[in-house]
Amino acid sequence: MQDVIQPWEELSREEVFRKYGRGIERRTYRLPHGTETDFYLSTDNDPVCCLALTESKEVILVRQFRPGPGEVLLEMPGGGVADGESREEGMARELLEETGYRGKIEYVTKVFPGAYMTYKKNAFVATGCVKVADPKPEDNGEELEVVLMSLPEFREHLRSGRLTDVEMGYLALDFLGLL
């Protein structure tokens, strides 16, 4: 018979750093056997991400530099939700800012991005997207290039792992019945 895993007792938490809605938090826990230990957790404001499809079912991606991997990657549109915005409003705004497209926004699900992150990422699909403006990236020096890709090419791109939201892409394709 296996022991039942119990949650750890949280003893304290302290925000170590915060900027642009993201932060690092130190949490001290007492483990079941009595040891106390610190964990440093990434915090965020539950970001949004979407698989955006044009009316002809082309996938709308954004080529941009990603500081974590230190590379230019082809990514799905997404970002943070502003104070006072719903997740859907935030996703629609991010899609328009990053790509210049609008479409029908539908919520798919939320996922835990990692064991040492306190937030959840929200997956969306945007269908029937049409270009209504030029992209208007944030004023923080963000440089973007919009790229359209066929569904077979996008599936191959997901398999390559060369984007930061692979799980969101698969969840969105599944939601649309396009796996």
106 within domain boundaries: yes
Question: pLDDT confidence of 83, banded at 50, 70, 90?
Answer: confident
Question: pLDDT confidence of 21, banded at 50, 70, 90?
Answer: confident
Q: How many domains does the chain have?
A: 2
- Sequence-ordered alpha helix ranges (H) in 52-118: 87-99
How many CB atoms are located within 10 Å of the residue 79 CB? 19
Q: Are residues 60 and 24 in the same domain?
A: no
Mean pLDDT, rounded, for 71-92: 95
Share the mean pLDDT of the chain. 94
Domain that holds residue 14: 9-43
Asked if pLDDT for residue 2 goes beyond 70, the answer is no
- What is the pTM for the complete model shown? 0.90
17 within domain boundaries: yes
| pLDDT tens per residue, range 26-64 | 999 999 999 999 999 999 888 999 999 999 999 999 999
CATH assignment of the domain containing 120: 3.90.79.10
Q: Are residues 29 and 82 in the same domain?
A: no
DSSP 32: T
- Strands 36-43 and 101-111 turn out to be unpaired
Measuring CA to CA, how many Å separate 28 from each of 14, 25, 62? Answer: 9, 10, 39
Percentage of the chain beyond pLDDT 90 is 84
7: Cβ–Cβ under 8 A, 6 or more apart, which residues? none
Q: What is the distance between the alpha carbons of residues 179 and 160, in angstroms, rounded to a whole number?
A: 15
Question: pLDDT confidence of 122, banded at 50, 70, 90?
Answer: very high
Q: Are residues 90 and 127 in the same domain?
A: yes
2 within domain boundaries: no
Q: Are residues 24 and 77 in the same domain?
A: no
4 within domain boundaries: no
Mean pLDDT, rounded, for 105-111: 97
Residue 57 or 83, more confident: 57
